[in-house]
Amino acid sequence: MPGHELYNLPGLRFLAALVPFSLAIIGTVAANFPISVTNGFLPVPLFGLMPVYFWGLLRPDLMPPWAALLVGLSEDLLSGGAPGIWALSFVVSYTFIDRQRDSLASLAGYGAILGFATALLIATGAAFAIVAIYYWRLPPIAPVIVSIAINVLWYVPALWFMGKIQHYLVGPLRSDF
């Protein structure tokens, strides 16, 4: 590979380790940027959860549980909601990814998207349950379903993008095993 010697620089290796977490934070910021092309008609996807799922599954050393907690916390902070709801939901979803890593990692094609949909369903379901307990009444289910559908649709290009990042940036710089 041309420029292979560059990949052995410790600084670059450290930066590569930051890429998944940084992408998750950037995704959270982008998702909570309060500008909507659809004028608020469609809910914003959980861009922060996509890198958490992808690298939490593929490279848990680069996306540890505390990273999922921090991404969820930043989602709470920027979205304007009650503190801790998404932080706990992301950790619950990460627990599912951690427990089912073997079966989820073997999924390909539509299966990979289905895997994300399952993790998303768990995160959103956890958030739904926490909100229901928090406010002691059931939130409407329709916006949640629309949100899940939007997230799954967005995961298709996001998966392609994250695959490229993993293939050309994170993988070569962190291929120590």
Partner 1 sequence: MANGSLRLARNRGGTPISLAVCAVLAVILVLLGRVQPTLFDRARAFASDRAAPILEVVRVPLQKVEAWAAGLANIFNVYQENLRLKEENSRLRQWQNAALALEQRVKRYRLLLNAVPDPEIGSVTAHVIGRSNRPFLNTMILDAGRRQHLKSGEAVVDDRGMIGRIFLAGDHTSWVILLTDLNSRIPVSIEPGNTQAIMTGDNSAAPILEVSGQGIHLRTGQQIVTSGDGALLPAGLSVGKVFWDGGDFRAGLYADAGHSDDVRVLDLKLPAEQLPPVSAHDLPVTAAGLAPLTPPPPKITQPAPQPAGGSPATAAAGHPSTMEPPAQAAAKAQTQTSAPDSDQSPDDQ
Q: Which of residues 62-101 bind partner 1 (CB under 8 A)?
A: 62-66, 68-69, 72-73, 76-85, 87-88, 90-92, 94-95, 98, 101
Scanning the chain, the segments in alpha helix (DSSP H) are 10-31, 49-58, 65-79, 85-99, 101-105, 110-135, 142-165, 171-173
* Binding track, positions 42-61, relative to partner 1; x by CB under 8 A: xxx---------x-xxxxxx
153 — phi, psi (to 5°)?
Answer: -65, -40
7-26: which residues touch partner 1 (CB under 8 A)?
none
Structure tokens that stand for 13 in this block: 């290796």
Interface with partner 1 (CB under 8 A), residue total 78
Closest distance of CB 73 from partner 1, Å = 7
For the four alpha carbons of 68, 28, 141 and 116, in that order, the dihedral sign comes to negative
Q: Determine the Cα–Cα distance for residues 102 and 107; give it in Å rounded to an integer.
A: 9
Does 169 help bind partner 1 (rule: CB under 8 A)?
no
CB 172, min distance to partner 1, A: 12
Q: How far is the CB of 22 from partner 1 (least distance, A)?
A: 16
Q: Pick the piece of the chain touching partner 1 (CB under 8 A) from 1-9, 10-18, 37-45.
A: 37-45
**CB of residue 74 to partner 1, shortest distance in Å:** 10
Q: Cα–Cα distance between 48 and 45 in angstroms, integer?
A: 9
Report which of 58, 45, 46 is spatially closest to residue 19, judged by C-alpha positions. 58
Give how far the C-alpha of residue 101 lies from the chain's centroid of Cα atoms, to the nearest Å: 15
Considering only residues 121 to 160 of the shown chain, the ones binding partner 1 according to CB under 8 A are: 124, 127-128, 130-131, 134-135, 137, 139-140, 142-144, 146-147, 159-160
Asked if 112 interacts with partner 1 (CB under 8 A), we say yes
Q: Give 166's DSSP letter.
A: I
Q: Least CB distance from residue 61 to partner 1, whole Å?
A: 3
